[in-house]
Amino acid sequence: MTDSGKQSFITDIHQLDKKGAGQAVVWQEEEGRRKKLKLTVPSTLPGEKVRVLIDWPKRRRAHARVEEVIERHPERLDPPCPHFDRCGGCVWQHWRYEGQLRHKTEQVKALLAQHGFDPDVVRETIGMEHPWHYRNKMEFTFSPEGLLGLHEQGNFRQVISLETCLIAGEKIVKAAMEVARWARDHQLPGYHKDTHEGLLRHVMVRESFATGEVMVALFATEAPEGELKEAAADLTERVTKALPDVKSLLWLENRAWADRTQAERTHVLAGRDFIYDELCGFRYRLWFDTFFQTNPVQAAKLVELALEMGEPKPHEKMIDLFCGVGTFSLPFAKRVKALAGIEIVETSIESAKRNAKDNGVDNTYFLARDARRGIDDVLEQFGRPELLLLDPPRSGAGGKVMRKIGRAQPKRVVYVSCNPETFVADIAELAPFGYVLKTVQPVDMFPHTAHVECCALLVKSS
Ligand SMILES: C[S@@+](CC[C@H](N)C(=O)[O-])C[C@H]1O[C@@H](n2cnc3c(N)ncnc32)[C@H](O)[C@@H]1O
This complex has an ipTM of: 0.99
Q: Is 293 annotated as a binding residue?
A: yes
Measuring from atom 11 of ligand 1, which residue has the nearest CA? 322
Prediction pTM value: 0.92
Q: What is the dihedral of CA 411, 355, 212, 134, to 10 degrees?
A: -30
Q: Is 7 annotated as a binding residue?
A: no
CA distance 28 to 36: 7
Q: Where in the chain is the domain with CATH 3.40.50.150?
A: 101-129+294-460
DSSP class of residue 145? Answer: T
Check if CATH label 3.40.50.150 holds for domain 101-129+294-460.
Answer: yes
CA distance 243 to 172: 10
What pLDDT tens digit does each residue of the chain (462 aa) get?
555 567 889 999 999 999 999 999 998 877 788 888 999 999 999 999 999 988 767 678 888 889 999 999 999 999 999 999 888 889 999 999 999 999 999 999 999 999 999 999 999 999 999 999 999 999 999 999 888 988 887 777 778 887 889 999 999 999 999 999 999 999 999 999 889 899 999 999 999 999 999 999 999 999 999 999 999 999 999 999 999 999 999 999 998 888 788 888 999 999 999 999 999 999 999 999 888 999 999 999 999 999 999 999 999 999 999 999 999 999 999 999 999 999 999 989 999 999 999 999 999 999 999 999 999 999 999 899 999 999 999 999 999 999 999 999 999 999 999 999 999 999 999 999 999 999 999 999 999 999 999 999 999 996
pLDDT for the residue 1: 55
419 Cβ below 6 A of ligand 1: no
- Do the beta carbons of residue 369 and residue 344 sit within 8 Å? yes
Here the contacts of 392-395 (C-beta below 8 Å, separation 24 or greater) are: 392/321, 392/322, 392/417, 392/422, 392/426, 393/322, 393/418, 394/418, 394/419, 394/422, 395/419, 395/422
Query: Could you tell me the distance, in angstroms and rounded to a whole number, from the CA of residue 324 to the centre of ligand 1?
Result: 5
145 Cβ below 6 A of ligand 1: no
What is the third-level CATH fold of 137-279?
OB fold (Dihydrolipoamide Acetyltransferase, E2P) (2.40.50)
pLDDT for the residue 186: 96
Measuring from atom 2 of ligand 1, which residue has the nearest CA? 393
Measuring from atom 8 of ligand 1, which residue has the nearest CA? 327
Query: Could you tell me the distance, in angstroms and rounded to a whole number, from the CA of residue 162 to the centre of ligand 1?
Result: 31
| Single-letter amino acid, residue 392 | P
- Do the beta carbons of residue 307 and residue 221 sit within 8 Å? no
Which residues are CB-neighbours of 227 under 8 A, at least 6 positions away?
none
pLDDT for the residue 153: 76
Q: Is 444 annotated as a binding residue?
A: no
Closest listed residue to residue 232, CA positions, set 266, 269, 202: 269
Closest listed residue to residue 136, CA positions, set 300, 361, 378, 24: 300
Measuring from atom 17 of ligand 1, which residue has the nearest CA? 344
Q: Which residues of 98-121 are buried (b: 16+ CB within 10 A; e: fewer)?
A: ebbbebbbebbbebbeeeebeeeb
399-408 vs 371-382: helix crossing angle, rounded to 10: 10
Q: What is the dihedral of CA 403, 404, 407, 411, to 10 degrees?
A: -100
Measuring from atom 27 of ligand 1, which residue has the nearest CA? 324
Pocket probe mutation, ligand 1, options 286, 291, 305, max atoms within 8 Å of Cβ = 291
322 Cβ below 6 A of ligand 1: yes
Residue 90 designated active-site: no
CA distance 122 to 110: 10
344 Cβ below 6 A of ligand 1: yes
Rg (CA), the chain: 24
CA distance 438 to 223: 54
pLDDT for the residue 225: 95
373 Cβ below 6 A of ligand 1: no
DSSP annotation string for 396-430:
---HHHHHHHHHH--SEEEEEES-HHHHHHHHHHH
Query: Could you tell me the distance, in angstroms and rounded to a whole number, from the CA of residue 320 to the centre of ligand 1?
Result: 10
Q: Which of 81, 165, 280, 418 is catalytic?
A: 418
229-242 vs 170-185: helix crossing angle, rounded to 10: 150
CA distance 116 to 32: 44
293 Cβ below 6 A of ligand 1: yes
CA atoms within 13 A on the CB side of 294: 21
CA distance 306 to 332: 9
Alpha-carbon dihedral sign for residues 35, 38, 42, 45:
positive
pLDDT for the residue 63: 86
Q: Where in the chain is the domain with CATH 2.40.50.140?
A: 7-74
* CATH code of the domain occupying 7-74: 2.40.50.140
Q: Where in the chain is the domain with CATH 2.40.50.1070?
A: 137-279
Measuring from atom 12 of ligand 1, which residue has the nearest CA? 322
pLDDT for the residue 2: 55
324 Cβ below 6 A of ligand 1: yes
pLDDT for the residue 61: 86
Q: Is 170 annotated as a binding residue?
A: no
Q: Which residues pair with 155 in a beta bridge?
A: 152
pLDDT for the residue 361: 97
Q: Are strands 338-343 and 364-368 parallel, antiparallel or unpaired?
A: parallel
* Main-chain phi, psi angles of 332, to 5 degrees: -70, -40
Ramachandran class of 226: left when φ > 0, alpha when ψ lies in -120 to 50, beta otherwise: left
